[in-house]
Amino acid sequence: MENFILLDALNMSFASILGYLAGTLTTLAFVPQVVKTWKSKSTADISLGMFVTFCVGVFLWLVYGFLLGSPPIIAANVATLVLAMIILFLKIKYK
Q: Least Å distance between CB 6 and its own copies?
A: 17
Cβ within 8 Å of residue 66, ≥6 positions away: 74
The residue within the footprint of its own copies, chosen from 1, 3, 5, 32 (CB under 8 A), is: 32
The residue within the footprint of its own copies, chosen from 6, 7, 10, 26 (CB under 8 A), is: 26
The residue within the footprint of its own copies, chosen from 1, 4, 5, 67 (CB under 8 A), is: 67
The residue within the footprint of its own copies, chosen from 10, 64, 72, 92 (CB under 8 A), is: 64
Comparison of 1 and 18: residue with beta carbon closer to its own copies = 18
Q: Comparing C-alpha atoms, which of 61, 90, 64 is closest to residue 77?
A: 61
How many CB atoms neighbour CB 59 within 10 A?
15
Query: Which parts of this chain interact with its own copies (CB under 8 A)?
Result: 11, 14-15, 18-19, 21-33, 35-37, 40, 42-51, 53-54, 56-58, 60-61, 63-64, 67-68
